[in-house]
Homo-oligomer: A and B are copies of this chain.
């Protein structure tokens, strides 16, 4: 699994081969097939393995107020670096998502990621609405809109090298203030 992560970061999902995973794990290619019958099995197992780490990652939102946690989420998304191993792995993760369009098993596995994110966001927004920090927005719809916007920005940064993660900060702020956060004036 660790080897798979490195290979994905190195050469992308497109370049993921059982031989490269074997090299990264310092074993023979056939041993990879001994543990995972097919390459598809390997990938699905990897996605389940990495999902647990993702859970911890989302814990990084901390405690604080609903507004703090929402802002922490935005920062977390927009702070994905472009040139280190983590960034390159995220590129591979985007490749995997497009592969999911034609592969049911990948799609099911990846949907659990997005629903995990949504659940966290929905909880934060519901909390904010209840305490009066936020306006009376639809938590689920707002969560998904925010997820899509940030995902789109991160994708453009990682793949097209747009300066999206910076450029989008102000508009996101405008959205939060104009639609989500309770008016303070």
Contacts and interface: CB of A to CB of B under 8 A. Distances in A.
Interface string A91-120: 100110111111000010011001000000
Question: How many copies of this chain are found per oligomer?
Answer: 2
A175 B98 contact: no
Sorted nearest first, the 8 A-B pairs with minimum C-beta distance are A148-B152, A152-B152, A145-B171, A149-B149, A178-B179, A178-B178, A151-B152, A101-B159
Contact of A148 (B102, B114, B156): B156
Describe A's contact surface by its main secondary structure.
helix
Interface of A: 12, 14, 91, 94-95, 97-102, 107, 110-111, 114, 137-138, 140-142, 144-145, 147-153, 155-156, 158-162, 164, 167-168, 170-172, 174-175, 178-179
